[in-house]
Amino acid sequence: MDNHLITAVRQNHPITFTVANTVTSGKVADALSAIGASPIMSTAPEEAADLVAAAHAVTLNIGTPTAELCKELTAVAAAANRLHKPLVLDPVACGATAFRQQINHDLLTSHQFTVIRGNAGEIASLAGVDWDGHGIDAGSGDGDLVTLAERCASRYQTTVVLSGPVDVITNGQATRHNDRGTERLATNVGSGDILSSIIAALLGQGADPVTAGWLGCRLVTTAGKNATKGTNGLGSWQEHFLDELTMITDEDLA
């Protein structure tokens, strides 16, 4: 595995285009900038092809979907496939409503994604596995999470990053785990959105999907864990988290 990826991101500033949700767009942009990537967000189908052409990687975040935004999501996904740009899906709360289920189904059956990054509830919904989802959070269910992630990876012929207390990264053949992290990440709104777009930045820097998935999880959880030192509430942790993302190096991720 290339252990110079973070250094390369900080040198090359890969343009990382995110169709973001309206809740955490700013947090995602700041986190991408902190690791050295160059973020850009847009919701205009009129510029979808031009922005995808300029970007090194793309993330579709379905956190606050609208019928209008679906035009953008489709235009960006089609352009990313046409231009062979890495494409990441964050299917936020995809099991929570029929509307979200339909949007994610339409995207996944019409376009090829490089990586799908979601929590266990979201991955279970995409894999067609019964799960007791809980809004944007993982919820609870039975079954082995590796099997769940592999089933989703196989269904959509992609790499799946199933995030949680232990992250599972698999393309159906190779499977990796990341057990570093802190509970604070679970309750911080935007942790997953940040992770999905950081994975896109690493793909944009040339990492293969499993490496980008594992390294993204390692990067976010290392920064998250380090940020707990000397902090009490969520607010101070968020500030420290961004500082940690700014300072993190390849050596910190071993």
Ligand X SMILES: Cc1ncsc1CCOP(=O)(O)O
Query: CA torsion angle for 217, 19, 243, 208 (degrees, to 10)?
Result: 30
Counting every residue written for the chain, the total comes to 254
Which residue, 41 or 195, has its beta carbon nearer to ligand ADP?
Answer: 195
Strand pairing partners for 60?
A: 19, 89
Q: What is the DSSP string of 27-50?
A: HHHHHHHHTT-EEEE---GGGHHH
In whole angstroms, give the CA distance from residue 77 to residue 94. 17
- Region binding ligand ADP by CB under 6 A among candidate stretches 12-20, 95-103, 147-155, 186-194: 186-194
Q: Quick one: what does residue 163 bind among ligand ADP, Mg ion, ligand X, none, with the CB cut-off 5 to 8 Å set by partner type?
A: ligand ADP
The reply to whether 205 sits near ligand ADP by the rule CB under 6 A is: no
Q: Which of 181, 204, 209, 213 binds ligand ADP (CB under 6 A)?
A: 181
Is 216 annotated among the ligand-binding residues? no
Separation CA 71–CA 240 (nearest Å): 37
3-state secondary structure of 231: coil
The residue count for binding ligand ADP (CB under 6 A) is 18
Cβ neighbours of 132 (radius 10 Å): 12
129 is an interface residue for ligand X by CB under 6 A = no
Q: Is 224 one of the binding residues for ligand X (CB under 6 A)?
A: no
CA distance readout (Å), 151 to 124, 160, 172:
9, 9, 8
Check binding of 209 to Mg ion (CB under 5 A): no
Choice from 86, 126, 149, 167 touching ligand ADP (CB under 6 A): 167
In angstroms, rounded to a whole number, what is the distance separating the alpha carbons of residues 99 and 247? Answer: 40
Binding segment for ligand X among 17-25, 154-162, 218-226, 245-253 (CB under 6 A)? 17-25
One of 164, 192, 204, 216 touching Mg ion (CB under 5 A): 192
Binder among 18, 24, 25, 205 for ligand X (CB under 6 A): 24
Judged by the rule CB under 6 A, the positions of this chain that interact with ligand ADP are: 119, 137-138, 163-165, 167, 181-183, 185-186, 191-192, 195, 217, 220-221
Binding site members: 41, 117, 163, 190
